[in-house]
Structure 1
Amino acid sequence: MRLWVLALVFVPEFGWAGLWQAVFHSISAFNNAGFALHSDSLSQWVGNPIVNLVIPALFILGGLGFIVVGDVYRTRNWRKLTLHSKLMLVGTALLITWGSVMFGLLEWQNPETLGPLNVVEKLWASWFQGTTPCTAGFNTINTGGMHNSTSLLPMTLMLVGGGSTSTAGGIKVTTLCVLLLATIAFFRRQTTLHAFGRSLGLDEVMKVLALTTISMLLILTGVFVMTINHDGQFTDIAFEVTSAFGTVGLSRGITSELDGIGRGIIMTIMFVGRVGPLAIGFFFATRSVPKVKYPAGQIYLG
C-alpha cells in the first residue's frame, strides 16, 4: 500500500521509472538501510508530506521489530501487550518526540540546515531528522551543516537504535529502558525492577550492562583509532563511528576522505554493530561452574 503512495510522488517526476524509485525506497526504508537513489538522499522532498510520512512510517515499523508488530496486530489491546512491546512503543515514541523537538530548536535558524526553509518545511524536516537517526539513515537536510551541539543529538539516537528482532541496529530501545529502570530502582532502594505491572530480574540487568559496556568500549576504541589514522574534526569522526556502529549510514561528509585503513575500521564496526556485541560476546564466552567459593568482599563506589 505504501509503495503505491510513494509512486504518487515519484512517477509524476520520473515517469514510469518512478515505480522503481518507489519500490527501492520502500524496501530501503523498511529494512532501515538508508540507501537512496539520489546523492542528496531525500532532500528534494524536504517539504513533501507523503515522503515525510510514508518513509518514516516504514522505518519506524521495521525498527520496532517483528515481535512487537505481531503482538500489536494479534492483541490490538494495550493491556494485553507484552512488557517488551510496551517498553518498545513507549520508548520509541519518547525518543522520536525528543529528537524531533530538540532538532527543531537547535537548528531553526541554522542557514545550512533549517534556516532557508519556510515554517512548514522546517517542521517536516525536524520530524524527519528526529526519527531517522534511529538507524534509518535517510536525510532531508545537509547533515554536515548541523551545529556540533546538534550532532550529539543524532549520535545518542544512533547509539540507542531500534528494537530487538528488528531491522535496526544500536544497543536497542529496551536496553536503554532497562538502564533507566535500574537507575530509578537504585535511587528508590528497590531490589527489583518494575514496569507496567511486571518485574525484571538481575539476569536482564547483567545482560544490559554487558551490552552497554561492550558497545561503549567499541565506539571509544573506534574513535581513538580513527583519530590516529585520520586527521579531521573530532565531531565528524565520532559521528562517523557512531553511525557505523548503529548501522545508520548518516555522515557529516568525511566518508569519501577515509583511506583503506579508515574504511576497514568503519566496516568492522558496522559488522559488529549489525551482528550485535552481545551475540559476539556470548560466542566467545564460556560457561563453567566455580569449584571454589570466596568470602564476600566490599568495595566503595561513586
Structure 2
Amino acid sequence: MPGLAKSKKNTLLRLTPPQVMALGFTIIIGIGTFLLSLPAAHADGTAASLLDALFMATSATCVTGLSVVNFGAHYSLFGQIVIILLVQIGGLGFMTMATLIALVFRRRISYKERLILQQAMNQSSTEGIIRLIRKVFLYALVIELAGATLFTLRWMFEMPFGQAVYFGIFHSISIFNNAGFDLFGGIPGRAGSLMHYTDDPFINLVSMALIILGGIGFIVISDLLTYRKNKKLTLHSKVVLAASGGLILLGGTVIFIFEFANPSTLQPLSMTGKVLASLFQSVTARSAGVVTLDTTMLRQATQFFIIVMMFIGAAPGSSGGGIKVTTFAILIGAMVAMVRGKEDIVLFRHRITKERIHKAITFSLLSFFLIVLATMLLSTTENFPFLGILFEVTSAYATAGMSMGLTPQLTTFGKTLIILMMFVGRLGPVTLAFSLTLRPGKELYRYPEGKITIG
C-alpha cells in the first residue's frame, strides 16, 4: 500500500501545469455532476439524467450559464447552492481555492504548485504569485459582498427580506463571475434573467459594474488599486482597460443603432432606457450571460455582432472567456502595423514580442476552427436556424451564457458537444493541447528560411 501511494504521488508530480488544471476542472465537474443528479437537488424530488447533471455542472464550473432547464424553477435550494458554489470555484479557479485552503492550514506552497498557479493566473513568472492569490480572494469577497448588499437593498422592496438577501448573494456571485445564472425564471409571471429591469438604472449600473470588474481580471483591479501609490499602470492593464472601454462603447453604439426602431426591443423604451439597454447588452455580450433584452427578438445583424463580441471575450486572468481582449488588441495592432508598413507591433510605446504575436494568432485560429467545426456538426444534428446554432456554439466556447433558445432543445449529441465546447473554452484550446501532449524536446536544427507570396 505505501508503494501504491508513492506511485500515485510520483504520477501527480510528473503532470504538467496544464494537465493539472485540466484534471482539477474534471474532478470538480465530476463532483458537481454527482450532486446535481441527486433527487434532493431538484424541486420535484426526482433524480436528473446523468447527461443533464453533467451539462449543468460543466456550465457552472466553466462559469458559462447555459441551462438545459428553467434554472430558477427546476432546482431546489440545495441544487441552487451546489450550482453557485461551482460558479465560485470555477470563477476564482480551483487552484486558487486550493491554495487559500493550504494557506489557512499554514501549509507550504511548493514550486510545482506555484507553476500551476502561474499558468492558472496567466502570469509570466511565479514571483509574487501567492501574494496575488491573497489579493484575488480579498477583492472577490469585497466586490461580491458589495454587490450582494446593493442588490438586497433594491429587492427588499419587492420581496421578503430573507429572499432579497438570498437573491442578492446568489446574483452578485453569478454576475461577478460572469456566469449568468439567475433565479427570476422561478417566479411565476416574471421573465428570466434581468429582463424585468430593462430600464431600471440601479440594477443596470450595479450589474454592469460587477460584470466589468469580473471581466477585466484581478491583475488589472490590483493595478488600479495601487495606482495612487505607484502612479503608473502596467502595459497589460492599459491594453485591457483601453480595449474593454472601446469595445463597450462600440458595442453600445452598434446595438443602439440597429435596435433603435425594433418594436420588440428598444423602440418602446425611453431614451434613458434605450441607452441603458444598449450598454448593458454590450457589456454582457463579452462573457456575462445575463440580459435585459430578449436575445431572440434582436435583429439578425445585432445577433451576429454579439457573436463577434462573445468571440473576443473578456481579459486574461478573469472569469470570462473568449480569445481575450489582449489577443484581439494584438491582432488589431498587427493589422495596423502591416497597413502602415511597420515591422513591429507597438502598443502604448511598447513593442510586442514575436512569441506573444504567434501565441495570439495560434489561439485565435484554434478558437475559430473549433467554433466552425462544432457549428457544422450541430447543423447536421439539430433542427434549428444556422445563426442560432452559431450563436449557441460561440456562447458555449466563450463561456458567455447568452442563448437564442437552442440549449433546452439539444439532442444527446448536441449536449455532449456543447459540454466539450464549454470545457475547452474555459481551459483554452492551447492549454488543453499542452495537457494532452508530452513535453516537447529541444529542436537540434532549423530549416532554411523560405518565402511565400501573400495576398
TM-score (norm 2): 0.64
Which of 167, 170, 192 matches 1:24? 170
Q: Write out aligned runs for 1:62-81 (5 A).
A: 62-76=214-228, 80-81=232-233
Query: Relative to structure 2, which stretch is displaced further, 165-174 or 180-189?
Result: 180-189
What is the aligned partner in structure 1 of residue 140 from structure 2? none
Give the % identical residues. Answer: 36
Aligned: 1:8 with 2:153: yes
- Within 1, Cα distance between the matches of 2:253 and 2:229? 29
Letter in 2 for 1:178: I
- Within 2, Cα distance between the matches of 1:61 and 1:291? 46
Letter in 2 for 1:24: F
What is the aligned partner in structure 1 of residue 449 from structure 2? 296
Which of 194, 206, 212 matches 2:346? 194
Distance 1:86 1:144, change over 3 A: same
Q: Write out aligned runs for 1:95-244 (5 A).
A: 95-244=247-396
Which of 16, 34, 37 matches 2:183? 37
Specify the SS of the correspondent of 2:184.
coil
Distance 1:170 1:216, change over 3 A: same
- Within 1, Cα distance between the matches of 2:241 and 2:344? 22
Specify the SS of the correspondent of 1:12.
coil
Structure 1 position 78, deviation (Å): 9.2
- Within 2, Cα distance between the matches of 1:151 and 1:92? 20
Q: Where does structure 2 lack aligned partners over 5 or more consecutive residues?
A: 1-145, 186-191
Structure 1 position 187, deviation (Å): 2.1
- Within 1, Cα distance between the matches of 2:236 and 2:453? 34
Letter in 2 for 1:37: L
Q: Deviations over 1:3-52 (max 9, x none)?
A: 22212221111111111111111111110001111222001111111100
Q: Deviations over 1:212-267 (max 9, x none)?
A: 01000100001000101112111100000010011111111121111111111111
Q: Where does structure 1 lack aligned partners over 5 or more consecutive residues?
A: none
Specify the SS of the correspondent of 1:52.
helix
Q: Write out aligned runs for 1:265-284 (5 A).
A: 265-284=417-436
What is the aligned partner in structure 1 of residue 410 from structure 2? 258
Letter in 1 for 2:173: I
Distance 1:293 1:119, change over 3 A: closer
Structure number, greater radius of gyration: 2
- Within 2, Cα distance between the matches of 1:27 and 1:248? 15
Structure 1 position 54, deviation (Å): 0.4
- Within 2, Cα distance between the matches of 1:297 and 1:288? 24
CA RMSD of aligned residues (A): 1.5
- Within 1, Cα distance between the matches of 2:245 and 2:446? 46
- Within 2, Cα distance between the matches of 1:85 and 1:77? 16
Query: Relative to structure 2, which stretch is displaced further, 117-126 or 70-79?
Result: 70-79
Letter in 1 for 2:443: P
- Within 2, Cα distance between the matches of 1:293 and 1:27? 50
Structure 1 position 77, deviation (Å): 7.5
Query: Relative to structure 2, which stretch is displaced further, 278-287 or 51-60?
Result: 278-287
Specify the SS of the correspondent of 2:222.
helix
